[in-house]
Amino acid sequence: MTQTSRRNLLAMAAAAPIAMATASLAQTGPSNTTSSSSSGRAAIVTGSSRGIGAATAKRLAWEGYAVTVNCLVNTDLAAQVVAEIQAAGGQATWLQADVADPSAVQALFDANEAAFGGVDIVVSNAGIMNTSVFADFEDAAFDRMFATNVKGSFYVLREASRRMRDGGRIITLSSTSIRQKRPTHGGYLLNS
């Protein structure tokens, strides 16, 4: 029997609402599909090399979507997510792209279009969490977190709104860590 870590179990549970949000799209399908995937549907999931993003990418592939996996740092994990999707009979590709860079976000969508013909679901999941008490919080760490969590989400949503096929879905995720009220989470809370 395969052991499932608590973290992976929580990630799979977190992916369930995304599956429900896409259910109506799965039933009706988009009116304009040109994807080369067997279902004609494609998804982009940012920050999908591990955790909730990886579970979401796998779930969407299981639902029949061709998936573009995205990461910034964990390229080996992104490749592993793609390999798992493909081993299960799904279609997937991955691209290293920094969502805090609008041209990188455009390149992510370009790569998805080249591979799958368009996009029907975009899940904006990429985020970073730098922690420190306010007195010690470095400006550069705060700026990087803001660029990824706020501006990055904006760039992904803007590009999705420009490229989404008719009937598509845009899903944004946030963290529940804002409920934990830890003294080192203040800078992160400002980005949530």
Sign of CA dihedral 192, 59, 68, 158: negative
Give the start-end residues of each E strand in the chain: 42-45, 66-71, 92-96, 119-124, 164-172
Q: Report residue 89 CA to chain centroid gap.
A: 21
- The domains of the chain are located at 36-189
Q: 2-36 pLDDT, tens per residue? A: 455 545 444 555 555 555 555 544 444 433 333 34
How far is residue 163's CA from residue 34's CA, in Å, rounded to a whole number?
Answer: 13
Q: Which superfamily is assigned to 36-189 in CATH?
A: NAD(P)-binding Rossmann-like Domain (3.40.50.720)
Position 160 scores a pLDDT of 96
Q: What is the mean pLDDT of the chain?
A: 81
Q: 109-135 pLDDT, tens per residue? A: 999 999 999 999 999 999 888 778 878
Position 64 scores a pLDDT of 95
Q: 133-169 pLDDT, tens per residue? A: 878 889 999 899 889 988 999 999 999 999 999 999 9
How far is residue 94's CA from residue 71's CA, in Å, rounded to a whole number?
Answer: 8
* 93, β-bridge pairs: 68
pTM: 0.76
Q: Report residue 130 CA to chain centroid gap.
A: 19
How far is residue 127's CA from residue 140's CA, in Å, rounded to a whole number?
Answer: 16
How far is residue 8's CA from residue 10's CA, in Å, rounded to a whole number?
Answer: 5
Q: Is 13 helix (H, G, I), strand (E, B) or coil?
A: helix
Pick the more confident residue, 29 or 78: 78
